[in-house]
Structure 1
């Protein structure tokens, strides 16, 4: 097993733990690209297998305890084998529909997963520390291990000293490839005098090489000396919102039901403008319901995103989540009680939440009324801890004015009455 810094420290542990709040199943390692790994956790060929929480949990434990790879694999392999994620197996290609044989879990793959996540979480934690201390240590020094294994470009970068905010670190902050052992060390003015170092001139542009992403077909320019997918700073949180958008756009190309899961998991990474009406998240939810509802309804195995609540509406019922979903169990109940509802009816949930009248039902429930001839009533409920929102009921409003008025009046007289019209 290749060497890497095993000393636990809080920032590295928290960085790895934080990524586990967004688990992204994927079919290929290049599906989730570069900085997208900052905001979520994925494992190649995990799509269709319930193994991401197991692998991520084992990695967090290893990061906390300084666990060796030998212990990591010994404890994890039985779980992966029990869940069927092991060895070579036939799968259906989601793009072509053709059957192909792929390698799922193996000792070699676990070694790569372990090595990558230990190094990247270490780098994330180091960057956070360096940013906190940059008033006293305003520079970073690129340090490689100068043995026969070091890449030629990394050997040339060894000793480069640049301000901690220099744009070069956006793409060249290590690690810069698979099993790259380089590091970036904080440097003070006293260090410069003590060791006779000098701040480097701006690094020369060494150019790029063209690389075709095998998962997407996208042509990418990769900086010389950096492996494809590694030209990013793993600790740069300033671009997390932007990366959430990129991640959502890419993951939304996954087949149903993975797209539904991707929409919910990537949404928390988006800025408010992308969650507001007209933003990326509401539009993707609308498109998903419009285009994929019938396919989802044939075999509803994951919650269906239906609408995006405003920050104020979510907070009013104690929710941190913003996307309201229809669970498979609720859909079964809906089919039993309201078999007349169609995909067109469910697609109105987003309009009701954004444009309808809002009535507080109780501490955890809101009713949204789209009061028009083809209108609907949508009841949204927050979970006890507020990390999820569910549409517990959706029904058509009566087309008769007098009956519709009675329906709305009943909603107004909820346990905690009081309407806010918008």
Structure 2
């Protein structure tokens, strides 16, 4: 999936789990975002360089539209630039737009994918997971080192190494049956990898959202999250 638009050619891209996950995220400033313990940041949404609530909300709404309606990177950039320029800001350049768009869409996609993977019936048939990096000239060395490695589905490795594992990360995780592992001559590892994900991407965003313990959140996020729940967002 080299081009971001190819994400939306996948039949499973807009499945409801991805949309539900993104609807739970609360727009906050970058200052608040980095005060939040890393394992809880998946419940917050921010864009560096912007502090006005209406700007962050516009970013959030455009990304949610991309998930729900399949709008493209180009549409996201055009809509955001129209809005930013009307508010007196410079528009996003292609690199900025791609970074914001790809990271958030890939996070939602991978969280949505994860929601289906631990199902007991799936786990029984496909008890192993394999890390899959794109493996091209843009792949980061640490992600490339994880490419193709197999661990049990219930391994704690997936608490750290479930994608995205960095900005614009294109990695995914595949489920495998015991027969597939044997036929492909794969080794199931049990030791934790020595290599680490990119800074701020060392948690599994899908595992934070099930029963968040609000007592550990900064007060601004608690209030914002509770307000979002009252609006009827999925729990």
Distance 1:121 1:235, change over 3 A: same
Partner of 1:188: 177
8 Å contact from structure 2 (residues 19, 68) kept in 1:
yes
Structure 1 position 120 matched with structure 2 position 107: yes
CA drift at 1:67: 2.3
Partner of 1:72: 76
- Tell me how far apart the structure 2 counterparts of residues 15 and 145 of structure 1 sit (CA, whole Å): 24
8 Å contact from structure 1 (residues 137, 186) kept in 2:
yes
Structure 1 position 60 matched with structure 2 position 64: yes
Q: Point out the structure with max Rg over C-alpha.
A: 1
| Partner SS, residue 185 of structure 1 | strand
CA drift at 1:36: 2.6
- Tell me how far apart the structure 1 counterparts of residues 114 and 232 of structure 2 sit (CA, whole Å): 32
Q: Equivalent of 1:9, from 8, 15, 18? A: 15
Give runs of aligned pairs for residues 296-335 of structure 1, distance below 5 A: none
Structure 1 position 171 matched with structure 2 position 160: yes
TM-score, normalization: structure 1? 0.47
Which structure has more relative contact order (CA 8 Å, sep 6+)? It is 2
CA drift at 1:240: 4.8
CA drift at 1:195: 2.4
Structure 1 position 236 matched with structure 2 position 207: yes
Q: Equivalent of 2:150, from 138, 150, 161? A: 161
CA drift at 1:237: 3.5
8 Å contact from structure 1 (residues 2, 179) kept in 2:
no
CA drift at 1:262: 3.8
Q: Which of the two has greater strand per residue?
A: 1
Residue by residue over 1:125-176, the C-alpha shift from the partner in whole angstroms, topping out at 9 and shown as x without a partner, is 1111111222322211011122222222222211211122211111111221
8 Å contact from structure 1 (residues 23, 52) kept in 2:
yes
Moved over 6 A (4+): none
8 Å contact from structure 2 (residues 33, 45) kept in 1:
no
Distance 1:81 1:32, change over 3 A: farther
Partner of 1:110: 97
| Partner SS, residue 174 of structure 2 | strand
Partner of 2:198: 227
Structure 1 position 203 matched with structure 2 position 219: no
What is the number of equivalent residue pairs in this alignment?
Answer: 224
TM-score, normalization: structure 2? 0.81
Segments of structure 1 that go 5 or more residues without pairing to the other structure are 88-104, 207-223, 253-260, 270-319, 322-384, 388-422
8 Å contact from structure 1 (residues 175, 230) kept in 2:
yes
Partner of 1:142: 131
Residue by residue over 1:95-127, the C-alpha shift from the partner in whole angstroms, topping out at 9 and shown as x without a partner, is xxxxxxxxxx52243322111101110110111
Give runs of aligned pairs for residues 207-218 of structure 1, distance below 5 A: none
Stretch deviating more after TM superposition (45-54 or 30-39) = 30-39
| RMSD of aligned residue pairs (Cα, Å) | 2.9
8 Å contact from structure 2 (residues 21, 108) kept in 1:
yes
CA drift at 1:386: 9.3
